[in-house]
Structure 1
Amino acid sequence: MRFHRNLVEGVVEVLDQVFNKQVYADRALEQHLRKNKQWGSRDRGFVAETVYDIVRWKRLYCEIAEVTPPFYSRDLYRLFAVWVILKKESLPSWPEFKGIKEGAILERYKPLKKIRKFRESVPDWLDALGEERLGSELWTAELAALNTQAPVILRANRLLTTPERLQELLEGEGIETDLLPDYADALQLVHRGNVFRTASFQEGLFEVQDAASQTVAPFLEVSPGMRVIDACAGAGGKTLHLAALMQNKGQLIGLDIYPQKLKELKKRAKRAKAFNIETRLISDAKVIKRLRDSADRVLIDAPCTGIGVLRRNPDSKWKLEPAFLERVCETQQELLQNYSGMVRQEGVLVYATCSLLPNENSDQVQTFLKSKPGKGFRLVEERSMYASIDGFDGFYMARLQRVE
């Protein structure tokens, strides 16, 4: 592989933003690529994929390179050198790599690859917790799966098309896909590419959404004419899927505490021709009280650690800490107890996260069921999805029915 200095400098600059200034990798990359619009798709792909690789394997590479924060420019070049050598490529003859020996790098790698927390590059506390709660075998397999590159999955918008028709249209635009028979609306890209520039996307025919995420909306078992509330709607990925399942009939309310996210949801809903969606900002407790006992279905897609989606957000594992896990678990329980009141008699509540930890999943459901607001609910079904088993993101879902 031939390395171009300007691209390598770009990688180092983005890593400086991520490691030293705590900018999320996707945002740092977006900003840097915007400044270098002259780069072609191959150059942009090299910078993005290299950054994500080094972020993903940060702990392993730091051990091999013998560098610690704060990372100076020479340290970041050493991390890049480790990436090059472990990729079995040759280092450029640049001053930045003077004195770095391939043999020494490989020798330091040998013992580290036998130790899971280094081999899979995770913090000590997270490695210990994952083994404790999931067991060594599943946790080891899951870490390995979460360190692979995530596939690009599309969800066909059935308000406007079918997966089969979308596949034909995308093929005409040079995008090759495979249908996923176990996921009703999903198509997987054969080769990674910028699907947002396609006419099919501009016309609202699909959204980018992982296959595991696509199982959440059907789990609510909605039907046209219902009143459905997406209580943590965000930018609306699952809200849009619910609108399609409801065939644009009934009322679908997207709630969130962030106005910018709801603004993006409105924009996406307009493109998708999803007309039964109403957005409401949770500005105070009255918003929830007004909806009490009113909904056939309520979805709480709760904020979480995001451990199940580390393939997409590898830098988040370096920002996680035990105190954050404690705080997010408190928030999840508050949401369950406060938002469950919106479910009418015989209605259904679905609690979902993109975490693997029982702390955030089954434990939360059991705590809720023992609480005063949870006494009127029964657990109907719960489901866990794992990257190592299902091949997609890690997710948890629990369906509860109000029977009080």
Structure 2
Amino acid sequence: MKLHRNLVFATIDSLHMIFNEQKQADKVLKNTLKRDKRWGARDRSFIAETTYDIVRWKRLYAEIAEVKEPFDRPNLFRLFAVWATLNGIKLPDWKQLEDTPVRRIKGRFDELSKIRKYRESIPDWLDELGEKELGKRWDKEIAALNELADVVLRVNPLKATVVEVQNELADLEIETETVPGNPYALKLKERANVFSTEAFKNGWFEVQDASSQLVAQLLDPKPGMRVIDACAGAGGKSLHIASLMENKGQVIAMDIYENKLNELKRRARRDGIHNIETRVIDSTKVIKKLIEKADKVLIDAPCSGLGVLKRNPDSKWKMDPEFLKQIKKNQAEILDSYSRMVKPGGELLYATCSILPSENDAQIKAFLKRDEGKDFSLVKDKKIWPSESGFDGFYMALLKKNNAE
């Protein structure tokens, strides 16, 4: 592979913004990739994949390169040189890459690969926490979370069948395969830009990980019900719920961020969905008005996001123990408050994209012991491990509210 100066420099600029200005990796890349109209798909994918790779392996590469944050430009080039060397790419004779100790890089890599926190490139505190909460299991889960995430689509049954979407994409030479246990999921055999396809623009599918699709499936909403998605965000799960309800009944999508709900409205229009109503949670009144009004409530709780590190490798550098402590406090408060919207005999589904028991089954056990949870009982819970599924890590617990005496 021949390295092109302008692509490497664009990668270095992106890394500077992610590491030194604490910007979100996906937003940085969105802007970087618009920089030069002459870049083709291969150029853009080089920048995106290389940037994500270096973000993912930051700790390991920094240790090999013997550089410390904040990384100045020469340091960023050293990280890049480590990436290129370990990927078997011959370094050009640019002054920024002079004196790269190629042989020492390989030796250091072999040495550091024996130590998990370097091999998996994670902060000390996270490595300790993972081992404390998951024991031996932590080894294989963190290794699975460092693999590249698959692109998975969720077919919108209101617009198309799985076979129609497969055929439409196959015509564009985008090959897909079905995912067992996921009736609407299609996994791309190779990465491709599906957002530019007519099928996407016409609302035939959304991009949604296979694990995430199991949430609405476990909730099992029926046409005609009133279902509340209490932490809807940009609404991937709300859209799935509405499609399973065949546009009949009502989905109330709530969030504290209005801009996310506006994005959901836009997506719903594209998907031909018109039974979603959005409500911004700007006071406690919003919840009070809905007490005991819902057949089913989904709490897709804010969490550490540890189960989706494949997708967001930069989040492990932004997390810290204090953030995790606050998140767990929020989860308990949300469970206590939002569970009141379930009517007697109705169901509550608590979900996170985390693999930590303290955010998952421990939260549910604690909730069922508190006064707020005394009317609920656990129907079933499901842990989705990245090492077994190959997809994101998820937890979901389905609770039933007793009928009033």
Q: Give the corresponding residue for 2:107.
A: 107
Amino acid corresponding to residue 228 of structure 2 in structure 1: I
Amino acid corresponding to residue 264 of structure 1 in structure 2: E
CA distance in 2, matches of 1:319, 1:16: 15
Paired residue secondary structure (1:288)? helix
Paired residue secondary structure (1:297)? strand
Paired residue secondary structure (1:252)? strand
Return 200-209 or 175-184, whichever deviates more: 175-184
Paired residue secondary structure (2:93)? coil
Q: Give the corresponding residue for 1:157.
A: 156
Per-residue deviation, 1:301: 0.2
Q: Give the corresponding residue for 2:247.
A: 248
CA distance in 2, matches of 1:261, 1:37: 29
The answer to whether structure 1 residue 388 and structure 2 residue 387 are counterparts is yes
TM-score w.r.t. length of structure 1: 0.99
Q: Give the corresponding residue for 1:83.
A: 83
Paired residue secondary structure (2:373)? helix
Which stretches in structure 1 are left out of the alignment for 5+ residues? none
Question: Following superposition of structure 1 onto structure 2, how do residues 2-401 of structure 1 map, counting pairs within 5 Å?
Answer: 2-136=2-136, 138-401=137-400
Which stretches in structure 2 are left out of the alignment for 5+ residues? none
CA distance in 1, matches of 2:173, 2:109: 41
**Residues 148-180 of structure 1: CA deviation (Å, up to 9, x unaligned):** 110000000011111112111121233211112
Amino acid corresponding to residue 374 of structure 1 in structure 2: G
Amino acid corresponding to residue 175 of structure 1 in structure 2: I
Amino acid corresponding to residue 42 of structure 2 in structure 1: R
**Residues 268-313 of structure 1: CA deviation (Å, up to 9, x unaligned):** 0011011111111111100100000010000000111100000000
Per-residue deviation, 1:386: 1.1
Return 303-312 or 107-116, whichever deviates more: 107-116
Per-residue deviation, 1:36: 2.1
Return 114-123 or 363-372, whichever deviates more: 363-372
CA distance in 2, matches of 1:66, 1:115: 16
What percentage of residue pairs aligned between the two structures are identical? 55
Amino acid corresponding to residue 48 of structure 1 in structure 2: A
**Residues 32-57 of structure 1: CA deviation (Å, up to 9, x unaligned):** 11222321100000000000000000
Per-residue deviation, 1:12: 0.4
Paired residue secondary structure (1:397)? strand
TM-score w.r.t. length of structure 2: 0.98
Amino acid corresponding to residue 265 of structure 2 in structure 1: K
Amino acid corresponding to residue 195 of structure 1 in structure 2: V
CA distance in 2, matches of 1:92, 1:145: 33
Per-residue deviation, 1:30: 0.8
